[in-house]
């Protein structure tokens, strides 16, 4: 439409040109001054320039208004800021990961942390992102990815000692959870040496890095203790109580107590997730020990059905306390979980384990009631056997 109109104007000028006086050419107009206007970004939930969005997101992050922070950073990054605003992309990506963690969108947070580490590897935020990613991987129990992220962190030249013990603890947990207790032991010992050197976490709540190391130490001791079995996997029909039962039982119980000590230290953590993990493991250890004891066959002296019933009753009455200790630990874990508002899978596991233990105890009591003797009579028989064992041990020591 513009070209015909311009042509018409030119034709009219040509027709009247002969009659009209010649006019001097007008001076060209000065070029308009350039005015840059900050890009305004709009979404259904928020709007603003990139810098306004960044400031808004930072303020919301400090106030732990996670959704508001995530909205601001998501919109900022979606706008693909350029020019001077491009410098906002790195901190906004990291802050968005932090907001996702606050919203418990852990997979999204994990991926953003790894994005920071991959796109800006030489920055301090890349190191911090790897540390944060380790925590998210551990929460999600992604043990192979914990190990690889820990390797990446420990290979960095800019680590301080706290970052190093964080990486060692994470890799130690990952290794023991994947069955490598020897590799885990080295990482954990190196990490604990640093904890001692730094006096890290002394006198109060345990920082996450130190709690992680103590949990890994508990796991190593637990795994090694449970390798002490009282009978073979397949029990011959005529096999009696194994002759090395007592030394094995002593070794197993000592290892259990050593593991419980490490888990107990981990339960001083500032992070409720590691408290729940450690508490559950302690309760589960007692339940596993009870299970392993209950597969011991009756002594060869128990020939009749009544004798075998008595053996069963004595074993269950004597070692029921292990189930009760396991249940108490699950209850404690659930209480701590409620207080700390932890909703991890470990709290749910503790609920299920407590329910299973309650059922097992009730079933045992019901079965004992069906036997031709009372639980009080079984307790008296156990007391007689205990005194005999003490006298025999005293005789041998002379």
Two structure tokens written together for 12:
């009219």
pLDDT bracket for residue 126 (50, 70, 90): very high
SS3 (DSSP) at 269: strand
Summarize pLDDT for 101-115 with one digit per residue, the tens: 999 999 999 999 999
**Residue-wise over 353-383: b if at least 16 C-beta within 10 A, else e?**
bbeebeebbeebeeebeeeeeeeeebeeeee
Which domains, and CATH codes, for the chain?
40-149 (1.25.40.10)
Rounded distance between C-alpha atoms, residue 126 and residue 115, angstroms: 9
SS3 at position 41: strand
Which pLDDT score is estimated for 14? 31
Tens digits of residue pLDDT in 277-335: 999 999 999 999 999 998 888 776 666 777 778 888 888 899 999 999 999 999 999 98
Q: What is the mean pLDDT of the chain?
A: 85
Please state, in angstroms and rounded to a whole number, the distance separating the CA atoms of residues 265 and 277: 12
Residue recorded with tokens 């932890």:
342
Q: Are strands 41-42 and 47-48 parallel, antiparallel or unpaired?
A: antiparallel
DSSP state of 86: G
Helix H or strand E segment including 48: strand 47-48
pLDDT band at 341 (very low <50, low <70, confident <90, very high): low
Quote the CA–CA distance of 232 and 88 in Å, as a whole number. Answer: 63
Regarding pTM above 0.75, the answer is: yes
Which pairs with CB-CB distance under 8 Å and at least 24 residues apart come from 124-132?
124/158, 125/90, 125/91, 125/94, 127/153, 127/156, 127/158, 127/159, 127/163, 128/94, 129/94, 129/97, 130/156, 131/163, 131/166, 131/167, 132/97, 132/98, 132/101
Span of 5-19, 45-59, 373-387 with lowest mean pLDDT: 5-19
pLDDT (mean) for 193-205: 90
In angstroms, the CA 157 to CA 127 distance is 10
Write the DSSP symbol of residue 235.
-
> How does residue 4 score in pLDDT terms, banded at 50, 70 and 90?
very low
Share of residues in the chain with pLDDT > 90 (%): 60
Q: Say if residue 90's pLDDT is above 60.
A: yes
Q: State the DSSP string of 104-121.
A: T-HHHHHHHHHHHHHHST
CA–CA dist 294, 331 (Å, integer): 23
Distance (Å, whole) CA 346 – CA 348 = 5
Q: At what angle do helices 143-154 and 124-139 cross, to 10 degrees?
A: 160
**Which residues, at least 6 apart from 99, have a Cβ–Cβ distance to it below 8 Å?**
57, 60, 61, 66, 67, 69, 70, 73
Give the pLDDT of residue 192. 97
Whole-number Å distance between alpha carbons of 238 and 345? 43
Q: Could you tell me which residues come within 8 angstroms of residue 85 by beta carbon, excluding any fewer than 6 positions away?
A: 50, 51
Q: What is the pLDDT of residue 11?
A: 32
């Amino acid at each position: 439409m513009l070209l015909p109109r311009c042509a018409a104007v030119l034709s009219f000028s040509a027709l009247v040109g002969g009659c009209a006086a010649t006019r001097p050419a007008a001076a060209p107009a000065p070029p308009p001054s350039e005015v840059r206007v900050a890009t305004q970004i709009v979404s259904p939930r928020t709007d603003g320039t990139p810098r306004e969005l960044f400031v808004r997101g930072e303020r919301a992050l400090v106030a732990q208004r996670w959704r508001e922070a995530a909205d601001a950073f998501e919109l900022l990054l979606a706008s693909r800021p350029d020019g001077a605003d491009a410098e906002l992309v790195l901190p906004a990506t990291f802050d968005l990961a932090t907001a996702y963690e606050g919203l418990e969108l852990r997979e999204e947070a994990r991926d953003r942390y790894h994005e920071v580490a991959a796109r800006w590897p030489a920055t301090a935020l890349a190191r911090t992102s790897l540390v944060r990613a380790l925590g998210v991987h551990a929460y999600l129990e992604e043990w192979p990815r914990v190990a690889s992220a820990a390797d990446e962190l420990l290979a960095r030249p800019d680590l301080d000692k706290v970052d190093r013990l964080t990486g060692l603890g994470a890799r130690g947990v990952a290794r023991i959870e994947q069955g490598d207790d020897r590799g885990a032991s080295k990482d954990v010992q190196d990490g604990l040496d640093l904890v001692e050197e730094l006096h890290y976490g002394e006198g109060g709540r345990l920082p996450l890095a130190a709690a992680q190391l103590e949990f890994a130490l508990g796991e190593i001791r637990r795994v090694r203790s449970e390798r002490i079995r009282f009978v073979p996997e397949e029990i011959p029909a005529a096999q009696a109580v194994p002759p090395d039962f007592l030394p094995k039982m002593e070794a197993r119980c000592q290892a259990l107590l050593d593991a419980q000590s490490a888990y107990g230290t981990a339960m001083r953590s500032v992070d409720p997730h590691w408290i729940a993990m450690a508490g559950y493991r302690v309760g589960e250890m007692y339940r596993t020990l009870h299970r392993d004891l209950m597969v011991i066959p009756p002594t060869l002296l128990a020939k009749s059905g009544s004798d075998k019933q008595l053996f069963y009753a004595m074993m269950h009455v004597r070692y029921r306390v292990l189930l009760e200790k396991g249940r108490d630990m699950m209850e404690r874990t659930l209480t701590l979980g409620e207080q700390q508002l932890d909703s991890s899978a470990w709290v749910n596991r503790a609920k299920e384990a407590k329910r299973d233990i309650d059922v097992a105890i009730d079933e045992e009591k019901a079965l004992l009631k069906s036997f031709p003797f009372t639980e009080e009579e079984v307790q008296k028989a156990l007391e007689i056997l205990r005194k005999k064992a003490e006298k025999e041990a005293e005789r041998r020591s002379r």
